[in-house]
Structure 1
Amino acid sequence: MKINLNQNKNLKLFKIISSVAEKENQSVYIVGGYVRDLLMKRGEGSDIDFVTEQSGINLAKALAEELSPKLKVSIFKTYGTAMIKWKGLELEFVGARKESYTKNSRNPAVEAGTIEDDQRRRDFTINAMAISLNKDNFGELIDPFDGRQDLIDKIIKTPLEPRKTYSDDPLRMLRAIRFASTLGFDIDEDSLSAIISEADRIEIITIERIMTEFNKIMASEKPSLGLKLLDDTGLLEKIIPELTALKGVEELEGQRHKDNFYHTLEVVDNISENTDNLWLRWAALLHDIGKAPTKKFVDGIGWTFHGHEFLGAKMVKTLFERLKLPLGNDLKYVQKIVRLSSRPIALITDDTSDAALRRLLFDAGDDLDDLFTLCKADITTKNKKKKNRYKENFEAVAKKIKEVEEKDHIRHFQPPVSGEDIMKLFGLKPGREIGILKEKVKDAILEGLIPNEPNAAKQFVIKEAEKLGLDIK
C-alpha cells in the first residue's frame, strides 16, 4: 500500500532525505509515532524518527551538510543515534537493529539488523509501521504486523508474543495503558493477560520513567481509562498503594460509606473536563488519600474520616518524595489544595460568617479558583436534584467570597503593620514577641475585629503589646 505524501507539509524534506540516502547508498524509512499519527489523521507531529539499514549517524551528517553546512548534528554514539533540529522539527536517525534482553535489565544487547528486525523489536503493532523514502518504493507502507488494521479496530497489540515483550521491557506495560488511555483504544485480551502476569517486572523500571508515562495518563482526556487499567492489571498498587487502599465499601449497623477509590476516579475525570493543569489533576487524584487511615465507625454517627484532609496533605509530601515528583512549588500547591479540599463545603450554610470566608480567602490566596474547581468536581452524586443543589450552594459561597474580597482585600493580604514597624515602635530586636504581635494583627483582621488599615492595626498592636509588658520607645 502506498501512502500519498504529496499533501504532506514535510514532502520537500522527505525528498531531500531520499536523495541524500541514495547518494550515500543507504536505505531510509520513516518509523514510529509519526506514521501512526499520519494514518490516524491526528496531524503531522514535529518529532520524526528515521531508520536506515546502515549508519544513522552518517546519514544524519550527510543530510545536515545538504540542508546547511552550519547545521549542528547531536550524536549519541552509545545508542547509534543522531538528531537534527530543522525549522521546528526534531529529526532523529538510527540504524536498524536487533535486540536481546537479560532477565534483570530493560537495557538490551543490540546488533545491526534489517528494517524487518527493527519493526519486530518495537512495542506495539501501531508503532511498528514504516514508510519507505527509498527511490524505488517512495511512500510505500511497510506493515508486517497489520498495525494499520489495529488502528482501524482501535486495539493495542504487541508485534511478538506479549509476555516476552513485556518481560523484556516492562515499561511497555505502562506504555500500553498510556496509549489505550490517550487514544481511547482497547488492549488486546492476550496482551492484557500478559501485563497482569508480568506486573511484578515493573520493579526493574526507574520511578522517573514510570512517572513520565503516568503523567501522560493523567494528562489524557479521560484519565480514569488508564487509572482503571493500572488497577485492573495490579500495576497501580505497586506504584501508588495509597490509592488502592481507598477501595471497598463497608457496612456496619446499616451504615455504608461510598467506595472512595471509584469516587476518586470520577473526580479526576470531572476536573479534567475543566482544566489541563496537571497538578490540579494530581490534587483531585490525592484529595481523599487520607480517608483510608482515618476511617472510623462511631456509634450513633456512622462512618467518619475526621482530619483526612490534614493527614492527606502530609501523605502527599511522602508520596511525591517516593515518586520523585517535583518537591518545590508544585508539591506545595497540591498539598494546599488537598488540605483545603473540604473547607468550602463547611461554608455552605446561610449563617456563614465573614470571618470564615476571610480565613478561606487568606489560606487559599491565588489558588481559590482552583480549589472551587476541585470542589465542584467532587460532586459525584447521581441524584440530579442533589447535584444541582450542591452546585447552587457553591455558587452562593463564591458570590459571598467575592463580596468579602471586594470589601476587605484579603486574597493578597499582608498585615498593614510589618515586623519592622513593630520593632521600631517598641525598640525591639527580632524575636518571639514580633511573631506573636504580627499573628495577633492578622487574626484580628481576619476575624473582623479591626479593619485592614494601618492606623487601626497600629492602635491594636499598641494595646496587645501592653499585655506583653512592652512600652512604646
Structure 2
Amino acid sequence: MENYKEALDHKIFNVISLAAEELDVESYVIGGFVRDHLLQRGDPKDIDVVAVGSGIELAKKVSELLPHKPKVQVFKNYGTAMLRAFDMEIEFVGARKESYSEDSRNPIVENGTLQDDQNRRDFTINALALSLNKNNFGELLDPFNGLKDLKSQIIRTPLDPDVTYSDDPLRMLRAIRFAAQLGFRIEKESLKAIRENKDRIKIISKERIVDELNKIMLSEKPSVGFALLHKTKLLKLILPELTALEGIDEIEGQRHKDNFWHTLEVVDNISENTDDLWLRWAALLHDIGKAPTKKFHKKIGWTFHGHEFVGAKMVYKLFKRLRLPLNEKMKFVQKMVLMSSRPIAIVDDNTTDSAVRRLVFDAGDNIEDLMTLCEADITTKNPKRFDRYHNNFKIVRQKIKEVEARDHIRNFQPPVSGEEIMETFGLTPCREVGMIKDAIKEAILEGDIPNEYDAAHNFMLKKGQKLGLQPVK
C-alpha cells in the first residue's frame, strides 16, 4: 500500500478523522478527490467521504467539531449528508452495496463494507480511497489497480462492464465524458459493453444526459467525446439530427463533404477560442439543416438551400426534446445557426455598406460570437484556401468596425419613435405608423439617411405625405 498523507494536508481531514474516531467508525476519502490529486488536477472543491457506518451521523459530528458549525444538509432518501467548509463541499455517505432492477437506474441499497462501496463505483480510477483512520491515515486502498489505470490513462470498470453499464446506463456517458475530459482511452471490453448496452440509455432522464453532454461540450477537445458517442451508437439515440449529416454522396462525379465530421472539427476549432457553452452548442448544430435540405442539381451539383433557416427551426425541437433551456440561451443558438452563413456573403470588395449595416443590425451584441463561429467553420486542409478564407473574414471585421464607428447601427432604434409619428400626424395606433417606422429603419440601413434625429424626422414627414398624411399644426 502506498501512503499519500500529503494529499490530506488540509485540516478538514484531521477533523473528519477525529469525528470518525469519536463515533468508532471507519472513514475514507474516495473518488474524484483522490483521482484528481494523483493526476495533479487543480484544487479540489468537492470531497466524497465514505463511512463504514452512518454517513449522516459522521457529517453531524464533523460540523460539531468545526469552529463555525456549518449547516448539515441531510438527504435521508439517499442516506447522505453534505456540509460546506473552507470553500469546499464535503459529502458523507455510509458504505453500501447496491442491486438494480431492469427498468431503473435507482438501486436497492443496503449497508456494506468499504469493499462493497468500491465495487459499486463506476470506474477503477474512481474507486481509489485514502484512509482517514488513525492507524493507517493516508494509506491508498486500490483493490482494482486504479492507480495503474491512471498511469496507463485507461477507463475501466471495477466489475463486469456489461453488468456495470446495464445496471446504471448513465455510466456509459460518464465513461465517454471522462475519456474526453482526461484524454484517456476506454478499455476495449468496456467500449464493447457500451455499444451492446446503448439502448439502455432510454431509461436515463434527459436532464442527466444533457448534464453529461454539456461536460463533454466543455472539454478541451469535444470531438473526442462526440466521436466516442458516435462509435458506440449512442449519438444516434441522443442526437439523430447530428448523425444524419454523416456520409458523402456522389452523383455524376460530384461529391459533397461529410458534414458530420466537418461539424466536429468546427466544434474543436471554436473551443480553442471560447468557453461559452451555448456558442459551442451553436457550432455543434450550425449545419443540422443540411440533411433535410440536401439536393442534387445537374447544372450546379449539391445544394443545401435554406439550411440555416431549417436548422434554426430544428434547434427548438431538439432543445425541447432534450429538455435544454427554452429561453434566451436557445434563442441565441437559433440566431447563430440562422446567421451562420451571413458574414461570408459580404467579403466581396463590391459589398455595399448597407449589407454590412444589416449584418450588424441583425446580429446586434452577438456579432463577435457570429464572427467567431464563422471563422471556426473554416476546416479546409488546403493552406492557401485556409489563409484566403481567414483573410476574407479580416476584411469583414474591418468593414464592421468602420460601419459601426460611423453609423452606430448595433441594436439601434429608429431616432423617431412610434409615439412621435402618431403625435405628428394625429394618429392612433394603426398600420401607417408601423409603415413609417419601418421605412425610417430601412432608409438608415440602406444608407439613404444618416442615423440621426433631424434626418429621420424629415424623412418621416416626406413618407407621411406619400401616404396621404398631413402633420397636425
Q: Where on the TM-score scale, by shorter chain, does this alignment land: which range?
A: over 0.9
User: Which stretch of the first structure deviates more once superposed, 461-470 or 274-283?
Assistant: 461-470
User: Which stretch of the first structure deviates more once superposed, 17-26 or 185-194?
Assistant: 17-26
2: CA distance, partners of 1:156 / 1:84: 30
Q: Which residue does the alignment assign to 2:246?
A: 247
Q: How far does residue 71 in structure 1 lie from its aligned partner after superposition?
A: 2.3
Q: Which residue does the alignment assign to 1:361?
A: 360
Query: Are residues 1:343 and 2:336 paired?
Result: no
Give the 5 Å matches for 1:60-459: 60-68=59-67, 70-459=69-458
Q: Which residue does the alignment assign to 1:4?
A: 4
Contact 2:365 2:410 in 1 (8 A): yes
Look up the equivalent residue of 1:259 and give its one-letter code. Answer: D
Q: What whole-Å deviation, never above 9, does each CA across 1:190-215 have from its counterpart, x for those lacking one?
A: 00000000000000000000000000
Contact 2:97 2:120 in 1 (8 A): yes
Q: How far does residue 469 in structure 1 lie from its aligned partner after superposition?
A: 2.3
Contact 1:376 1:394 in 2 (8 A): yes
User: Which stretch of the first structure deviates more once superposed, 450-459 or 123-132?
Assistant: 450-459
Look up the equivalent residue of 1:444 and give its one-letter code. Answer: A
Q: What whole-Å deviation, never above 9, does each CA across 1:392-419 have from its counterpart, x for those lacking one?
A: 1110111111111111111131110111
2: CA distance, partners of 1:109 / 1:431: 66
Moved over 3 A (4+): 6-9
Q: Which structure 1 residue ranges, 5 or more long, are not aligned?
A: none
Q: Secondary structure at the match of 1:50?
A: strand
Q: How far does residue 50 in structure 1 lie from its aligned partner after superposition?
A: 0.2
State the number of aligned residues: 472
2: CA distance, partners of 1:250 / 1:422: 56
Q: What whole-Å deviation, never above 9, does each CA across 1:278-307 have from its counterpart, x for those lacking one?
A: 111011001100000110111210000111
Contact 2:7 2:37 in 1 (8 A): no
Look up the equivalent residue of 1:457 and give its one-letter code. Answer: A
Q: How far does residue 7 in structure 1 lie from its aligned partner after superposition?
A: 6.4
Look up the equivalent residue of 2:312 and give its one-letter code. Answer: A
Q: How far does residue 4 in structure 1 lie from its aligned partner after superposition?
A: 2.9
Q: How far does residue 133 in structure 1 lie from its aligned partner after superposition?
A: 0.5
Q: Secondary structure at the match of 1:136?
A: helix
Contact 1:224 1:266 in 2 (8 A): yes
Look up the equivalent residue of 1:2 and give its one-letter code. Answer: E
2: CA distance, partners of 1:190 / 1:6: 35
Relative to structure 1, is the Cα distance of residues 251 and 7 closer, same or farther in structure 2, using a 3 angstrom cutoff?
closer
2: CA distance, partners of 1:217 / 1:39: 22
Q: Secondary structure at the match of 2:454?
A: helix
Q: Secondary structure at the match of 1:78?
A: helix
1: CA distance, partners of 2:100 / 2:58: 28
Contact 1:34 1:44 in 2 (8 A): no
Look up the equivalent residue of 1:52 and give its one-letter code. Answer: A
Contact 1:28 1:134 in 2 (8 A): yes
User: Equivalent pairs: percent with the same residue?
Assistant: 63
Q: What whole-Å deviation, never above 9, does each CA across 1:319-341 have from its counterpart, x for those lacking one?
A: 11111111111111111111111
Relative to structure 1, is the Cα distance of residues 263 and 358 closer, same or farther in structure 2, using a 3 angstrom cutoff?
same
Relative to structure 1, is the Cα distance of residues 7 and 32 closer, same or farther in structure 2, using a 3 angstrom cutoff?
closer
User: Which stretch of the first structure deviates more once superposed, 83-92 or 216-225?
Assistant: 83-92
Q: Which structure 2 residue ranges, 5 or more long, are not aligned?
A: none
2: CA distance, partners of 1:43 / 1:464: 64
Instruction: Give the alignment's TM-score, normalised by structure 2.
Output: 0.98
Look up the equivalent residue of 1:224 and give its one-letter code. Answer: S
Look up the equivalent residue of 1:315 and give its one-letter code. Answer: M
Contact 2:53 2:95 in 1 (8 A): yes
Relative to structure 1, is the Cα distance of residues 457 and 277 closer, same or farther in structure 2, using a 3 angstrom cutoff?
same
Look up the equivalent residue of 1:88 and give its one-letter code. Answer: D
Contact 2:245 2:291 in 1 (8 A): yes
Instruction: Give the alignment's TM-score, normalised by structure 1.
Output: 0.98
Q: Secondary structure at the match of 1:6?
A: helix
1: CA distance, partners of 2:433 / 2:206: 45
Look up the equivalent residue of 1:31 and give its one-letter code. Answer: I
User: Which stretch of the first structure deviates more once superposed, 435-444 or 384-393?
Assistant: 435-444
1: CA distance, partners of 2:215 / 2:68: 37
Look up the equivalent residue of 1:4 and give its one-letter code. Answer: Y
1: CA distance, partners of 2:55 / 2:7: 27
User: Which stretch of the first structure deviates more once superposed, 407-416 or 281-290?
Assistant: 407-416
Q: How far does residue 462 in structure 1 lie from its aligned partner after superposition?
A: 1.6
1: CA distance, partners of 2:304 / 2:410: 29
Q: How far does residue 460 in structure 1 lie from its aligned partner after superposition?
A: 1.1
2: CA distance, partners of 1:241 / 1:256: 22
Relative to structure 1, is the Cα distance of residues 7 and 282 closer, same or farther in structure 2, using a 3 angstrom cutoff?
closer
Q: Secondary structure at the match of 2:181?
A: helix
Query: Are residues 1:464 and 2:463 paired?
Result: yes
- RMSD (Å) for aligned C-alpha atoms: 1.0
2: CA distance, partners of 1:211 / 1:3: 38
Q: Secondary structure at the match of 1:28?
A: strand
Contact 2:375 2:390 in 1 (8 A): yes
Q: Which residue does the alignment assign to 1:36?
A: 35
